[in-house]
Amino acid sequence: MIGELPAMEKWQKVGGDIMDRTAKFPKSVRFTFSTRIDGLVLEVIDGLVIARYSTQRERPERLQQVSLCLSRLLALLRMAFDRGHLNAGSYEYLCSGIVEVGSMVGGWRRSITQARARD
């Protein structure tokens, strides 16, 4: 979309890929892993939207919450991989996307903090 934040555009792709993978998890873990992972995917997109429209003062805290959700996602995906619900290729691909979005969010947060320090 024109005018979208790069982190939001990337997350829509990565988040969609994550949800596509969790939809294929066995029924026995659908209400544990799938529900929690999918919920965090949605929390990240919500957090990015909220951060975009927050005041400069509130934005760093919102971005910190997004970073926390990304870390939680990495941990849950690792557990799903360790239990055989994700293959190595999917795990590496999804984690690299999460790390990339995390870097974007961290850069956004640092730019706000540095701008505040100059003011």
Decide which of 53 and 117 is more confident: 53
Q: How confident is the model at residue 115 (pLDDT cuts 50, 70, 90)?
A: confident
The C-alpha atoms of residue 78 and residue 69 are separated, in whole angstroms, by: 14
- pTM score, two decimals? 0.91
Which is the CATH superfamily of the domain at 6-118?
23S rRNA-intervening sequence (1.20.1440.60)
Whether pLDDT at 52 is above 80: yes
Give the model's pLDDT for residue 3: 54
The C-alpha atoms of residue 89 and residue 109 are separated, in whole angstroms, by: 30
Q: Domain extents for the chain?
A: 6-118
